[in-house]
Structure 1
């Protein structure tokens, strides 16, 4: 492997890596999946031959309205490929185009507006012909109260536009998620279009510290189980799920009943995404998966958590993230300031008694996981001044020098390199 052949996702491109001569690199990538030769045809086939439901053209008959959920800008979902075909199918089946809406599932993230909304939707025709709205989790009047889940008593309040639609469809990207197991499907509803109390309950320490609330695990995962219960409380819901390769090209699309169609996409991608390795490493180099996931430091933490299974205790995790949009929300900044002031143990102690997490402090809580295991070092060109201090991790300006220091400290020349960051899940398999 030549030095020139190693590059990791960074911003809208890649960051070339030059390794010390003594380094022995292991490149960890997803198993290659065949690209779909005709994305439009694959989407049409999914809509006409769905999983555990009638075709979309039949689902849309005799419906007065429809609402389609899409993920926010932090997910590279190919909305440009499927929104118009879905909408045109609904209109052909009799739903008035004025009664069809697209709702951006922002959770507690900021709204996507103006040029960013155009980039997200990816099709001017959609923006010109249907209502496109952002979800606002703090808008009390915009939600319907469905009560509480029976298992863990989570308050369930969801966006009125989606709840009251006659035909409800969630769309998204199925990829590893460091808390909910897998993204997409039911997760686009909760937390995607949930009220802040629902989201903050999900992100409280009783969920976050559960050892089963980890990437690629759905069995016994308390977040996943709550999401399934919320879907069942809501009633009839469908989903379109996409899977992308490292080039962001479509390799799988499923449509149908939301739980069954999501599981079908998970089954397709699971084995390719999880990479078994026979050893752990004292030095792990990873990314935040590039744009759009590395727009903020807030999202960068996902890349810190995903490779922990192969990091030796006391090892060094080096992550590159552009952070082109800066740090993250004001609430996240406050949580990070508390972490820096109190230290990891005292910060965690402030969380464990809460039934409702403070907004965005859950991401700081997740940062405790790599900090407990080893040393975290961040390469970024998007943070300056106080922002760099508030990360709570070591800042580096030279990845090669950081790798060299880690090898010298550990005496272990083996280096794991994960170009696509949290989209790949390395597993230690002794």
Structure 2
């Protein structure tokens, strides 16, 4: 037996697994973590990719809008933003000329405490921080229409600022291919209808076909979801970008800065190199964590783990997740869709009126339905939500593992294989050859 420890909220869960049954303990290739994050940010800012440095872009008289991710994203904004503001101050831009725009997309607004967690208390005290509201039409400006027929409305503060700087983190995204980059604009600071039109591109072009085959983690070419975002961002013409890239274990690997697209693309290439892992065999059981807080803050974010873990698991296999989910029912619209069992009806409804939370729930429920069983280790107060979503709750990882072993024994499966994914939302299994 070997004890495996998986992240769970701000703590962990552990279970004893027969080591001879473990096929893979998946982590990305070894990648050295950045030791001095402040210096890494400053170096990236002063040596940008494919564009001039901030000194040549920003004038002391400019108003500057800085777009930052909300609390559901691992970015290290609280470490990045102070350095960026220092650089702007050095150029001559004063604090009162800077607006921080939190790119909620369709997510709820931050509390004051969450603003401090994301931006840092000093930045909250010094800067004007605005929560984007995708439903507030009076705060939106139309900047054009994409080739996909999407009318692009974005937050007017970003549209009207003299200079626009995007921040965020490059990550694997189950529909957009990668997070970060252009995603700070769409869906980050876009209007609700713009977001929904973009996200509807994640459905198959053929009714009844489910999800679009080009919209999955790590895919950009032939991905309409991404291509629409890119066109929208090009219309906004951001002046600068700075993004963080993390190892699958959640450590900062690098900081990329410069042109809003080419600097981000470098981050994507590097993440693919350190975050994708080749496998030769699909597991009977995959035990996975989204990566702990904030990636398991709610189910909406947590199911990214489902969308990567399923790639390591045989059809009809078993999935086990450690997801604390203290904010499990946020957003409520996602939870409502997650409770729906008629997937054909869900797809028809999404085609009539696309809702991103509905689509994420639809895709996650398709995964759950394709498995023999899906166990979720979570808080006891979350058990009813988990049951209603077609999954099985457990209080501890050891309890979930014992339930899974019982199912394996009932099936007569003694030569089972297990894969461990401690940071499933950030680890992409790539099946190279099925070992029969």
Report the counterpart of residue 419 of structure 2 in structure 1. 416
Q: 1:24-49 deviations in whole A, cap 9, x for unaligned? A: 35211111211223222221111111
Q: Which runs of 5 or more structure 1 residues have no equivalent in the other structure?
A: none
Q: Output the TM-score relative to the length of structure 1.
A: 0.92
Task: Trace 1:36-75 onto structure 2 (pairs within 5 A).
Answer: 36-61=34-59, 63-75=61-73
Task: Trace 1:154-173 onto structure 2 (pairs within 5 A).
Answer: 154-173=150-169
Residue range with higher mean Cα deviation, 205-214 or 137-146: 205-214
3-state DSSP class of the match of 2:50?
Answer: coil
- Return closer, same or farther for 1:247/1:272 CA change in 2, 3 Å cut-off: closer
3-state DSSP class of the match of 1:199?
Answer: helix
- Deviation of 1:174 (Å): 0.9
- Return closer, same or farther for 1:334/1:372 CA change in 2, 3 Å cut-off: closer
Q: Distance in 1 between matches of 2:16 and 2:47?
A: 48
Report the counterpart of residue 244 of structure 1 in structure 2. 246
Q: Distance in 2 between matches of 1:79 and 1:21?
A: 39
Report the counterpart of residue 287 of structure 1 in structure 2. 289
- Deviation of 1:13 (Å): 2.0
Report the counterpart of residue 204 of structure 1 in structure 2. 200
Is the contact between residue 17 and residue 399 of structure 1 (CA under 8 Å) also seen in structure 2?
no
- Return closer, same or farther for 1:383/1:225 CA change in 2, 3 Å cut-off: farther
User: What is the root-mean-square deviation of aligned Cα atoms in Å?
Assistant: 2.0
Q: 1:108-157 deviations in whole A, cap 9, x for unaligned? A: 011112111111112x221121111111111111110123212x111211
3-state DSSP class of the match of 2:84?
Answer: helix
- Deviation of 1:91 (Å): 2.3
- Deviation of 1:351 (Å): 2.2
Is the contact between residue 166 and residue 238 of structure 2 (CA under 8 Å) also seen in structure 1?
no
Alignment partner for residue 133 of structure 2, among 133, 136, 139? 136
Q: Which runs of 5 or more structure 2 residues have no equivalent in the other structure?
A: 205-210
Report the counterpart of residue 112 of structure 2 in structure 1. 114
Report the counterpart of residue 222 of structure 1 in structure 2. 224
Is the contact between residue 283 and residue 316 of structure 1 (CA under 8 Å) also seen in structure 2?
yes
Q: Distance in 1 between matches of 2:431 and 2:356?
A: 33
Is the contact between residue 77 and residue 119 of structure 2 (CA under 8 Å) also seen in structure 1?
yes
- Return closer, same or farther for 1:21/1:173 CA change in 2, 3 Å cut-off: closer
Is the contact between residue 62 and residue 94 of structure 1 (CA under 8 Å) also seen in structure 2?
yes
3-state DSSP class of the match of 2:149?
Answer: coil
Report the counterpart of residue 22 of structure 2 in structure 1. 24
Q: Distance in 1 between matches of 2:356 and 2:212?
A: 19
Report the counterpart of residue 178 of structure 2 in structure 1. 182
Report the counterpart of residue 81 of structure 2 in structure 1. 83
Q: Distance in 2 between matches of 1:179 and 1:21?
A: 34
Task: Trace 1:195-344 onto structure 2 (pairs within 5 A).
Answer: 195-204=191-200, 207=203, 209-246=211-248, 248-337=250-339, 339-340=340-341, 343-344=342-343
Q: How many residues align?
A: 421
Q: 1:16-69 deviations in whole A, cap 9, x for unaligned? A: 122258733521111121122322222111111100111112211255210111
3-state DSSP class of the match of 1:266?
Answer: helix
Is the contact between residue 288 and residue 424 of structure 2 (CA under 8 Å) also seen in structure 1?
yes
- Deviation of 1:411 (Å): 4.2
- Return closer, same or farther for 1:78/1:322 CA change in 2, 3 Å cut-off: same
Q: 1:181-232 deviations in whole A, cap 9, x for unaligned? A: 1111111111011111111112226547211110011111111101110111
Q: Distance in 2 between matches of 1:292 and 1:202?
A: 25
Q: Distance in 2 between matches of 1:74 and 1:307?
A: 20
Is the contact between residue 78 and residue 117 of structure 2 (CA under 8 Å) also seen in structure 1?
no
3-state DSSP class of the match of 1:384?
Answer: helix
3-state DSSP class of the match of 1:294?
Answer: coil
- Return closer, same or farther for 1:293/1:66 CA change in 2, 3 Å cut-off: same
Q: Distance in 2 between matches of 1:331 and 1:314?
A: 28
Return structure 1 stretches of 4+ with deviation > 4 angstroms: none
